[in-house]
Chains A and B, each alone.
Chain A
């Protein structure tokens, strides 16, 4: 399935780049097949409240998703991002939304937030 769950990384640049490259490889392969894909990131990382490495990965994937969504629109595939609070009880919910967004019915380039961690915060 074309769902990329962002892995936790340390604050070492090679590890950050490797995780972003993993997202790139999945994305390019899906795009070449003309298939939709989804990234799943942690809301705290997106907000910058986790480690700096994790923050760079989460926001990097969000921006990449927006660009890929522009490229995929005319070709009929979509790209979306699910953000969740990282609480174990939410994992299944995040997975459900990720699978749902593989067949998004025309929704693309969106950030869907599961949980409440984002409320009251400025999003990137």
Chain B
């Protein structure tokens, strides 16, 4: 199995871990996209596309880079995401829209652009969040990730049997996003996780690997929660 796999939000955290897992684990060309210049430090068989995917020009530049690899497009990981947290009563329209545009709009628009270019047997992996089950102070984020679940299910049906589409819903993962949480709040959050720790970006990358490769050849339209058992506690 070889070919090109696109990863968005690839500069840091989960996206970076997935990119590194792919470049070190298989004969893949990874087209790694992010708005951050930290993208440049990723090594291996990577085409870096530093761009804003919320714009038409940004999307076009990514599609152009994919075509430019000259190899079969076999995977897409929609990982780019942001948070703008506040309680619903205080949430601004701007914060609502910006989270929706990045977390759901980019995933949808990019999937729509790239799915027709993907070869049979290809796989789309959407990074949702355990917050789709509800999370205080994240009305916009939760709605966007719930939308990603709907996107996953609908595209899984419409693209079958040619492509598979699945989602990962990470819980609390040790990324910069989590480290921005006040320490006392973070400690309380970890104490509610049965496995008694945050997850690592590498643990999400392992599940992404599973969903991108034939290891998961009979799975489509599913959401895999990777949260240390937090959905139970």
Contact = CB atoms under 8 A, between A and B. Distances in A.
Contacts of A25: 93
A42 B100 CA distance: 21
Contact of B136 (A27, A47, A67): A67
Given A17-B101, A28-B91, A31-B88, A67 B142 contact: yes
B97 to A, nearest CB: 7
A57 B101 CA distance: 13
B88 A71 contact: yes
B139 A48 contact: no
B112 to A, nearest CB: 8
A38 to B, nearest CB: 15
Contacts of B62: none
A56 B112 CA distance: 14
A102 interface: no
Contacts of A49: 154, 157
Contacts of A21: 93, 96-97, 100
Contacts of B88: 27-28, 31, 67-68, 71
Interface residues of B, number: 43
Given A20-B100, A71-B88, A64 B153 contact: no
Given A31-B88, A55-B151, A17 B97 contact: yes
Given A60-B104, A63-B143, A124-B146, A71 B154 contact: no
Contacts of B223: 124
29 contacts: A16-B147, A17-B101, A21-B93, A21-B97, A24-B143, A25-B93, A27-B139, A28-B89, A31-B88, A47-B153, A48-B150, A48-B157, A52-B150, A56-B108, A59-B132, A59-B149, A61-B143, A61-B146, A63-B143, A66-B132, A67-B138, A67-B142, A67-B143, A69-B134, A71-B88, A71-B136, A71-B137, A124-B153, A124-B223
